[in-house]
Structure 1
Amino acid sequence: MSDMNSLLQPGMLVRHPTREDWGLGQVQSNIGGRITVNFEHVGKVVIDAAHVDLVPVFDA
């Protein structure tokens, strides 16, 4: 898990770096390198933090 992914907590807003079409996502959980995110356009997705570095959004 990247350092940034390890800091993600429930309620934080993120974007997927290669799936702009998924829209803004809200972190639901971050347990053992598996991050569950509820994205605007695709719903709930479980992200493997070893393969994807989510991008935090602070100005949404």
Structure 2
Amino acid sequence: MSDILAPGIFVRHPSQPDWGLGQVQSVVGQRVTVNFEHAGKLLINAAAISLNIVDPDEEG
């Protein structure tokens, strides 16, 4: 999954919907830094969590 992710892409964490929309800040190997609306900047292990890519224009 991390090979698809790139800085600027918007994502949601599948098991933490209350974190809100997140924007990928950086990708280094399987480590993805995401800035979430309600949780701030977090480091996600893409080997363990498959972030859901979203189009913010379709979010409504």
Q: Is TM (by shorter chain) over 0.5? A: yes
Q: Which residue of 2 aligns with 1:16?
A: 13
Residues 1:53 and 2:50 aligned together: yes
Is contact 2:2-2:29 (8 Å) kept? no
Name segments (4+ residues, structure 1) moved above 3 Å.
none
TM-superposed deviation, 1:32 = 1.2
Note if contact 2:8-2:25 (Cα within 8 Å) is conserved in structure 1.
yes
Task: Confirm or deny that 1:43 pairs with 2:40.
Answer: yes
Q: Which ranges of structure 1 fall in alignment gaps of 5 or more residues?
A: none
CA RMSD of the aligned region, Å?
0.9
**Count of aligned pairs between the two proteins:** 57
Q: Name the TM-score, length of structure 2 as normaliser.
A: 0.88
Identity %: 56
CA contact (8 A) 2:35 2:41 kept: yes
